[in-house]
């Protein structure tokens, strides 16, 4: 289909997507910051303004674009952004006013961008295509981005078509809206997958920016400690030790160092795997900063800060329900604490921001509740956080005894998962007494947020497939411990022996992050063979043919019995009747099996009979039949080709017209 190397195509698409993402993840916040002088915006140097611009953009762009696209269209949202950027940011005269220490942050951001791009793109060698382990999760997400581009907001379910398009409501999809807008603006150079990959890079930028801004506003030291916070983003837990033991015991390569236990993912891993959850963290933390900054009596537009905080919380809710659930509980506890402390002004700001968030997110919340009620299962249950290495020993015990065992294992569990930060968190309390914690608004909020994280992540789990609540809830706690890690780092009164232990834990944390990064990129080579990589190369060629030679309204179908069929999600740009990604739409198991069995007969056929195939395709409105060498019906390919010439064929794929075409 193309003479160019797919790796080069992917890299060009990612870099174009990164540039276009600045229209969403930098300039809108820059404009709002300038217009309302948020965080003393106009008095700051250009580097500081860029940081504030990124933070405010990730806080406000999702809810603004969602509401505009919902009421009007994505194109209207793009026009709205363009109008927003007319605000006098173009009068900027201090672009050259960069402090030298900003060079460190610029190089850190550039290094992250190069690393993330290399970690995510397809690597082509000859006629083989090597994917990243992260493609497992991207299989569903890319198809949603493409569905929004094709159908608008709310998107249709791209992998469920029971005779008509079905809106995809039971999903926090705000991040995918942003990616879809980049997909639209990027034309043929930036597709849905490139946009999603670029979004991971910007999620990393957002994380760096919120660390910088939070430490600056909290410590008031003109960025003196900020570089330490950015450096600590490279530190993870002690996962490398049990992960290596697991690989030695099983003599198998694993895809991530986190698979040995219930996940607490490194910062880089979160940006690559789940940029939407990380963006939700940035938005929610921005809401906290807005409330804290509004304590100053002499700032302009002070009464608007709670409204902006509410918009940030609304964005967070649509970016990640699980992350926002933690902040929602924290918000309530924070409000009660402020009332008890007789901080009436701050308590009122917290309340007003929550009410504003509910107002802005109400359309999304209504759709979420309606879809949840049809699912018939409460999404959260009580369960003590699992220490996976003990599961084989407690699986036959009563639930109560199992819970006691896992509860007793929690301290050791968290020491391994958090490493340096578990020790730094304990040491932090030796540096601050009760009075200083209660009197410092930042310290108190951090303590409450960490306590809420610990309770939720330790005692609750989500029931919708994986334990996303238990995995993502710790993002808030990880941030607090990172900030406390900076405090401990600069403390002078810590004993030398303790500092050495901290250093050892930090080194293992860096090693864990580095090992995880290496596995995410290279494990595919060890976990697959050359045949499968050649199959993926052929699959990409086949799906590119479908993209270039079929109408956008076409309905295509591959074998629904393939679990997590990566090519259909990563490269597909057309509606499907049913696929293994369908749980995104909360389709019942019975409905999934009914459609899979009906459509799956196409791929299990023992005879080459186009009449039966056309009847199935016509029944389900299928226009394109995608046959691969992994399907039983592939053995009939020669007979099928005699009766009907394929639209496209390569060594592993054949594309046929099917049904009433």
List the structure tokens of 588: 């019942």
399-422 tens-digit pLDDT: 999 999 999 999 999 999 999 999
Q: What is the percentage of the chain residues whose pLDDT exceeds 70?
A: 95
Q: Which residues pair with 657 in a beta bridge?
A: 624
Q: Please tell me the number of Cα atoms within 13 Å of 641 on its side-chain side.
A: 14
Average pLDDT of the chain?
Answer: 91
For the stretch 175-187, pLDDT in tens is 999 999 999 999 9
Arithmetic mean of pLDDT, 140-158 = 93
Is a pLDDT exceeding 50 seen at residue 458? yes
Report whether 32 contacts 148 (CB < 8 A).
Answer: no
Q: How far is CA 536 from CA 128, 393, 576, in A?
A: 7, 40, 19
Separation CA 544–CA 547 (nearest Å): 5
Q: Which residue has the higher pLDDT, 429 or 169?
A: 429
- Cα–Cα distances (Å) from 442 to 298, 352, 478, 570, 650, in that order, read 19, 19, 16, 42, 61
Q: Is the preceding peptide bond at 154 cis, omega within 30 degrees of 0?
A: yes
**CA–CA dist 378, 373 (Å, integer):** 9
pLDDT at 168 > cutoff 90: no
Q: How far is CA 243 from CA 253, 389, 409, 511, in A?
A: 10, 11, 18, 12
Residue of higher predicted confidence among 508 and 530: 508
Q: How far apart are CA 26 and CA 37, in angstroms?
A: 16
Q: Which residue has the tokens 């002088």?
A: 37
Confidence of residue 88 (pLDDT cuts 50, 70, 90): low
Judged by average pLDDT, the poorest of 20-34, 54-68, 498-512, 576-590 is 576-590
Mean pLDDT of 307-324: 97
The confidence score (pLDDT) of residue 79 equals 85
Q: Which single residue is written with the structure tokens 């603004």?
A: 64
Residue 522 three-state SS: helix
pLDDT value at 615 more than 70: yes
What separation, in Å, do the N-terminal and C-terminal C-alpha atoms of the chain show?
24
pLDDT digits (tens, 9 = 90+) for 593-609: 999 999 999 898 777 78
CA–centroid distance for 263 within its chain:
15
Structure tokens at 56: 């405010």
Give the model's pLDDT for residue 1: 45
| Token code pair at residue 633 | 């019906």
Return d(Cα 23, Cα 178) in angstroms, integer.
10
Please enumerate in sequence order all residues whose Cβ is within 8 A of that of 373, keeping only pairs 6 or more positions apart, or say none: none
> Would you state the structure tokens that stand for residue 93, as one six-digit string?
């005269």
CB atoms within 10 A of CB 33: 25
- CA torsion angle for 625, 627, 632, 634 (degrees, to 10)? 120
Contact assessment for residue 582 and residue 565, using Cβ atoms and an 8 Å cutoff: no
Number of H helices, E strands in the chain: 28, 9
pLDDT tens per residue, range 271-289:
999 999 999 999 999 999 9
Average pLDDT over residues 384-392: 92
Residue 78, pLDDT > 60, answer yes
Give the residue among 72, 31, 123, 61 at the shortest CA–CA distance from 319: 61
| Residue (of 163, 104, 156, 151) closest to 599 by Cα position | 163
pLDDT for residue 661: 57
Q: What is the pLDDT of residue 386?
A: 94
Average pLDDT, integer, range 57-73:
95
Whether 43 has a pLDDT exceeding 50, the answer reads yes
């Amino acid at each position: 289909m193309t003479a160019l190397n797919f790796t080069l195509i992917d890299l060009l698409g990612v870099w174009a997507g990164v540039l276009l993402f600045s229209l969403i993840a930098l300039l809108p916040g820059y404009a709002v910051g300038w217009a309302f002088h948020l965080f003393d915006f106009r008095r700051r140097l250009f580097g500081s303004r860029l940081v504030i611009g990124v933070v405010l953009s990730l806080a406000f762009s999702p809810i603004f674009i969602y509401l505009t696209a919902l009421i009007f269209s994505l194109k209207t949202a793009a026009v709205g952004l363009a109008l927003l950027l007319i605000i006098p940011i173009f009068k900027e005269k201090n672009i050259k006013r960069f402090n030298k220490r900003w060079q460190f942050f610029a190089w850190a951001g550039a290094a992250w961008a190069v690393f993330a791009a290399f970690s995510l793109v397809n690597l082509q060698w000859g006629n083989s295509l090597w994917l990243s382990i992260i493609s497992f999760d991207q299989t569903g997400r890319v198809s949603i981005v493409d569905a929004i581009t094709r159908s608008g907001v709310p998107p249709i379910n791209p992998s469920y078509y029971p005779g008509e398009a079905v809106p995809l409501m039971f999903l926090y999809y705000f991040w995918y809206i942003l990616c879809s807008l980049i997909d639209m603006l990027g034309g043929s150079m930036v597709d849905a997958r490139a946009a999603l990959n670029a979004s991971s890079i910007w999620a990393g930028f957002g994380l760096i920016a919120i660390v910088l801004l939070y430490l600056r506003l909290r410590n008031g030291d003109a960025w003196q400690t900020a570089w330490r916070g950015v450096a600590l983003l490279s530190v993870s837990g002690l996962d490398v030790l049990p992960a290596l033991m697991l690989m030695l015991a099983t003599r198998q390569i694993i895809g991530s160092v986190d698979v040995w236990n219930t996940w607490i993912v490194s910062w880089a891993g979160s940006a690559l795997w789940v940029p939407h959850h990380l963006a939700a963290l940035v938005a929610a933390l921005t809401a906290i900063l807005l409330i804290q900054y509004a304590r100053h009596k002499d700032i302009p537009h002070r009464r608007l800060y709670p409204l902006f905080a509410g918009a940030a919380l609304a964005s967070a809710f649509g970016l990640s329900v699980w992350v926002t659930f933690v902040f929602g509980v924290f918000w309530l506890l924070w409000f009660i604490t402020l009332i008890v402390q007789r901080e009436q002004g701050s308590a009122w700001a917290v309340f007003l921001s929550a009410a504003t968030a509910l107002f802005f997110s109400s359309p999304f919340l209504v759709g979420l509740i309606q879809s949840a009620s049809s699912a018939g299962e409460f999404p959260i249950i009580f369960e003590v956080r699992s220490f996976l290495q003990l599961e084989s020993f407690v699986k036959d015990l009563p639930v109560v005894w199992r819970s006691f065992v896992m509860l007793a294992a929690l301290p050791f569990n968290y020491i391994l998962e958090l490493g340096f930060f578990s020790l730094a968190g304990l040491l932090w309390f030796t540096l601050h007494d009760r009075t200083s914690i209660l009197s410092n608004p930042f310290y108190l909020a951090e303590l409450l947020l960490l306590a809420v994280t610990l309770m939720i992540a330790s005692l609750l789990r989500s029931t919708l497939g994986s334990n996303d609540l238990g995995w993502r809830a710790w993002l808030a706690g990880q941030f607090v411990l990172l900030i406390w890690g900076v405090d401990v780092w600069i403390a002078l009164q810590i004993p030398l022996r303790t500092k050495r232990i901290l250093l050892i834990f930090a080194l293992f944390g860096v090693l864990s992050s580095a090992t995880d990064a290496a596995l995410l990129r290279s494990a595919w080579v060890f976990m697959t063979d050359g045949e499968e990589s050649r199959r993926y190369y052929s699959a990409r060629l086949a799906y590119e043919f479908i993209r270039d030679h079929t109408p956008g309204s076409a309905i295509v179908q591959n074998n629904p019995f393939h679990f997590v069929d990566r090519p259909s999600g990563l490269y597909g740009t057309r509606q499907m009747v049913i696929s293994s990604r369908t749980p995104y739409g909360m389709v019942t198991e019975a409905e999934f099996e009914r459609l899979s069995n009906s459509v799956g007969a196409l791929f299990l056929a023992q005879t080459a009979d186009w009449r039966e195939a056309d009847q199935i395709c016509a029944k389900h409105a299928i226009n394109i039949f995608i046959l691969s060498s992994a399907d039983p019906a592939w053995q009939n390919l020669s007979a099928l080709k005699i009766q009907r010439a394929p639209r496209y064929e390569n060594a592993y794929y054949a594309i046929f017209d099917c049904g009433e075409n």
